[in-house]
């Protein structure tokens, strides 16, 4: 008999396994993932990788100190050109992929097949007192076939702590689970081996379908899991009219004016589909404002 549960909806949960000395994070996306998928359609392999990347970006905000935003970025020279997923400290998620349609039909899920020059990175941007945010970027090795395996290797190497990561996607859900041994000698002698063995018994279907309480109880009941906190997640884009204006002004006078087509500049956000339109007079105002901002320090001197 198949059991049916109502999975957690767009939620991040942090937990502790005190007897084993292990901490963990679990993420489940539904509506947020549906809205990211709306940028498609994507070929199956790319859609799965994008969903896993969205789950991973959210998952890692529950592990690392993120006051701004954390992104997963993948660039490659073949079928998959660019994949980007981002989660902010406020719990907003967005993601997108760009690909060569002719090559993507035969693309595999194996990261090792992405080609020479492929690059996977984790980037954290936190606000600072200056104009530019504090930025940290770590490069992730592509020696593993899957994103789950690649991220496991990355955390083991960068933090030198045993870490397990499982990511899963289907048409309506994306999910992730991460467990990591706490630093120091906390937990019993066999704690990490026990948790890692139990982790291996979890299927991607169970990760996608089980609510957090069911997952923790069935998987780690003997270690008396403790829920440390939960956070809601949702689709959200950081685009705004002001940001688009700044982008147009940064093109410079010649290119900004050349962007006027049929009496307007038309920009559509590739993440959320928001439509922005500017008249030629508005473009001139942007250029004057940008020029004044550059000249102001000289006048103050």
Residue by residue, pLDDT tens for the chain (301 residues) are 455 556 678 999 999 999 999 999 999 999 999 999 988 789 999 999 999 999 999 999 999 888 899 999 999 888 888 999 999 999 999 999 998 888 877 788 889 888 888 999 999 998 877 667 788 889 998 999 999 999 999 998 888 889 999 999 998 899 999 999 998 766 787 889 999 999 999 999 999 999 999 999 999 999 999 999 999 999 987 777 887 788 888 888 888 788 888 888 887 777 777 778 888 888 888 888 877 765 554 443 3
3-state secondary structure of 253: helix
Q: What is the pTM of this model?
A: 0.83
Which pLDDT score, from 0 to 100, does residue 210 have?
93
Which pLDDT score, from 0 to 100, does residue 147 have?
95
Alpha helix ranges (H) inside 76-223: 101-104, 147-159, 191-199, 204-209, 212-220
> Which H or E run includes 93?
strand 92-99
Which pLDDT score, from 0 to 100, does residue 283 have?
80
> Which H or E run includes 23?
strand 22-29
Please provide the distance, in angstroms rounded to a whole number, between the alpha carbons at the two ends of the chain.
78
Q: Tokens standing for 221?
A: 């009941």
CA count, 13 A, side-chain hemisphere, 288: 6
84 contacts 115 by C-beta, under 8 angstroms: no
- Hunting for tokens 């499982």 — which residue is that? 166
Which pLDDT score, from 0 to 100, does residue 295 have?
58
Preceding amide of 41 cis, omega within 30: yes
Which pLDDT score, from 0 to 100, does residue 171 have?
81
244 contacts 38 by C-beta, under 8 angstroms: no
64 contacts 124 by C-beta, under 8 angstroms: yes
Q: What is the C-alpha to C-alpha distance for residues 168 and 170, in angstroms, rounded to an integer?
A: 7
């Amino acid at each position: 008999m198949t059991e049916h549960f109502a999975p957690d909806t767009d939620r991040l949960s942090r937990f502790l396994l005190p007897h084993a000395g292990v901490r963990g994070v679990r993420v489940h996306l539904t509506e947020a993932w549906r809205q990211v998928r709306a940028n498609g359609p994507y070929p199956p392999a790319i859609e799965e990788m994008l969903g896993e990347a969205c789950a991973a970006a959210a998952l890692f905000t529950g592990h690392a100190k993120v006051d701004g935003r954390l992104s997963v970025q993948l660039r490659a020279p073949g079928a998959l050109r660019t994949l980007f997923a981002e989660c902010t400290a406020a719990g907003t998620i967005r993601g997108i992929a760009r690909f060569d349609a002719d090559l993507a039909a035969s693309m595999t899920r194996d990261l090792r097949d992405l080609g020479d020059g492929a690059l996977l990175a984790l980037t954290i941007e936190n606000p600072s007192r200056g104009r530019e945010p504090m930025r940290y970027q770590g490069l992730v090795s592509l020696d593993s076939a899957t994103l789950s395996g690649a991220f496991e290797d990355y955390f083991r190497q960068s933090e030198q702590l045993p870490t397990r990561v499982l990511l899963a996607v289907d048409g309506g859900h994306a999910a992730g689970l991460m467990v990591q041994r706490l630093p120091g000698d906390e937990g019993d002698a066999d704690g990490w081996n026990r948790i890692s063995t139990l982790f291996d018994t979890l299927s991607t279907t169970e990760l996608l379908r089980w609510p957090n309480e069911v997952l923790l109880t069935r998987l780690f009941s003997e270690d008396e899991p403790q829920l440390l906190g939960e956070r809601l997640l949702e689709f959200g884009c950081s685009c705004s009219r002001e940001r688009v204006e700044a982008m147009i002004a940064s093109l410079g006078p010649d290119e900004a004016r050349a962007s006027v087509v049929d009496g307007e500049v038309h920009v559509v956000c590739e993440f959320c589909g928001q439509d922005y339109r500017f008249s030629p007079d508005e473009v001139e105002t942007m250029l004057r404002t940008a020029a004044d901002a550059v000249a102001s320090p000289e006048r103050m001197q």
